[in-house]
Amino acid sequence: MTDFARARASMIDSQVRTNGVLDLRVIKAMRETPREIFVPEQMRDYAYADQDLFIGVDAQGARRYLLAPMTMGRMLQLAGAGDAGCALAVGCPAGYAAAVLANMAQSVIALESDPAMAEAASSALERAGFTNAAVVTGPLADGWPREAPFDSIIINGRIERTPHALLAQLKDFGRLAAVFGDDKTAWLRIWTRRGETISHADEFTATAPLLPGFEARKPAFAF
């Protein structure tokens, strides 16, 4: 039987700290969040593996994943999640990202496009005792404007186009973090709003599975 507490401590020491995650609030949140609760039962022995973890196929046939712990930790740190009053987690098929954010922010909205996965995420959050995170269902690229603006937005997967609707939902000085690029070259990109200006910085190369709803738009056909 897997010793999940030991596996979680090993994840922090060998995957998170060693890859530049130094914000103690992020480390504490990841240490206190039982990742194994947020994966299918048959995958729990792999919950703390150093990889993107496949957790199922959604209703549209897209394969869905939990991001690798190192990617998640650096994303949370760079997005300033520890300073967030209200945070938005986009793409939460299992609820784990929302749970980690709920250990840092005052309140969390977890947006999921697949109703069955949203229900599973909500149940997992409830079992884990989180009362400051709510799971909602809708198109991922649209965000959740009725609760905007947000201090931090985390996109749990790779995106191939600029998330304009989500950027419009950032507070002043708010940040959005996502893996941005194609399947050959991608970066962990951080967007920051300052008044009406939104800037971005590519922090490091990264890999992540493509999140449905953020595919690159195909060029219009022309004669």
**Fold adopted by 4-205:** Rossmann fold (3.40.50)
- Residue located via tokens 């919950």: 47
Helices (H), 33-105: 69-78, 96-102
Which conformational region is residue 155 in: left (phi greater than 0), alpha (psi within -120 to 50 degrees), or beta?
Answer: beta
Mean pLDDT on 86-103: 95
pLDDT in tens, 155-188: 999 999 999 999 999 999 999 999 999 988 899 9
In the prediction, which pLDDT does 169 show? Answer: 97
In the prediction, which pLDDT does 83 show? Answer: 87
Mean pLDDT on 123-133: 94
pLDDT beyond 80 at 220: no
- The C-alpha angle with vertex 68 and arms to 63 and 70, in degrees rounded to 5, equals 160
Mean pLDDT on 111-128: 95
Q: What is the DSSP string of 27-47?
A: HHHHHHS-GGGGS-GGGGGGT
Q: What is the pTM of this model?
A: 0.93
pLDDT in tens, 191-214: 999 999 999 999 989 999 999 999
- Structure-token pair, residue 101: 């954010």
